Amino acid sequence: IVQERILIVDDEPYNLIGLKIKFNQLIKESSEFIIDQATNGLEAYEAVVQANKSRQYEYGIIFM
């Protein structure tokens, strides 16, 4: 596994923006994490399936 990612999921665009800002503040010293986002459960599921297929990254945190 090359890198870990954080997946944030929310159907409200403003919540996604706020969550992304907060997570960026928390991990600003670590360039090992990438933050992905999904706007519903189906998108989140598809993101996890894609991560499992690629085997190049995994989600260390899925925040819903």
pLDDT at 4 over 90: no
Q: Residue 45 — pLDDT band, cuts 50, 70, 90?
A: very high
Structure confidence at residue 41 (pLDDT): 93
Average pLDDT over residues 42-55: 91
The band of 6, judged by pLDDT with boundaries at 50, 70 and 90, is: confident
pLDDT tens per residue across span 14-42: 999 998 888 888 877 666 778 899 999 99
The pLDDT value recorded for residue 25 is 83
State how far the Cα of 17 lies from the Cα of 9, in Å rounded to an integer: 11
Cα separation values, 16 from 2, 19, 35, 36, 64, Å:
25, 5, 11, 10, 10
Residue 57: other Cβ atoms inside 10 A: 17
Instruction: Output the CA–CA distances (angstroms, integers) from residue 62 to 9, 19, 35, 41, in the order listed.
Output: 8, 12, 10, 11
